[in-house]
Amino acid sequence: MKYFLIILMLGFSFGQEIITLDYKGAYNLALNNNKEIQKLQLQIKALDIDYHLAQRYYLPVVFVGASLLYDFDKKDTKLDTNINVVSTLYEFQRTKSRIELSKIKRDIAQIMLEQLYRDLQLRILKLFVDAHLYRKLTEVKREEMAIAYVRFDRARERKELGLTTDHEVFKLETVYREKRSELLYAQYMYNYTLLEIKQLTGLPYEAVLELKDLNLREPERLVADFSKLMEDALRNNASLKIKELEIKSYHEDIKGAKQTIAPRINLKVSTDKAGLELTTPIYDAGRHYRVDYLSMLKRSVQAEKENLERSLKLIFFSAPYEWEYLRAKLVEAKTREKFAEENLTLRRSEYELELAFDLGYAMAEKSEAERQSMETHYRLLLFWAKIFNLAGKEPFYILE
Quick check: is 105 in a domain?
yes
Q: Is the pLDDT of residue 8 over 60?
A: no
Q: Is the pLDDT of residue 14 over 60?
A: no
Quick check: is 210 in a domain?
yes
pLDDT, the chain, mean = 85
Confidence of residue 375 (pLDDT cuts 50, 70, 90): very high
CB distance 377 to 320 below 8 Å:
no
Quick check: is 1 in a domain?
no
Quick check: is 237 in a domain?
yes
* Chain segment 254-283, per-residue pLDDT in tens: 887 777 667 777 777 777 777 777 766 777
CB distance 27 to 395 below 8 Å:
no
Q: Is the pLDDT of residue 356 over 50?
A: no
Average pLDDT over residues 52-79: 74
Average pLDDT over residues 358-373: 86
Quick check: is 9 in a domain?
no
Return the pLDDT at 12.
Answer: 40
Quick check: is 239 in a domain?
yes
Return the pLDDT at 258.
Answer: 79
* Chain segment 279-315, per-residue pLDDT in tens: 667 777 777 888 899 999 999 999 999 999 999 999 9
Q: Is the pLDDT of residue 133 over 80?
A: yes
- Residue 289 sits in a domain whose CATH number is 1.20.1600.10
Quick check: is 98 in a domain?
yes
Return the pLDDT at 58.
Answer: 65
Return the pLDDT at 98.
Answer: 80
Quick check: is 3 in a domain?
no
Q: What is the pTM of this model?
A: 0.82
Return the pLDDT at 359.
Answer: 76
Return the pLDDT at 352.
Answer: 62
How many domains does the chain fold into? Answer: 1
* Residues spanned by the domain of 26: 14-392
Return the pLDDT at 3.
Answer: 36
Return the pLDDT at 85.
Answer: 75
Average pLDDT over residues 12-32: 82
Confidence of residue 381 (pLDDT cuts 50, 70, 90): very high
Return the pLDDT at 4.
Answer: 33
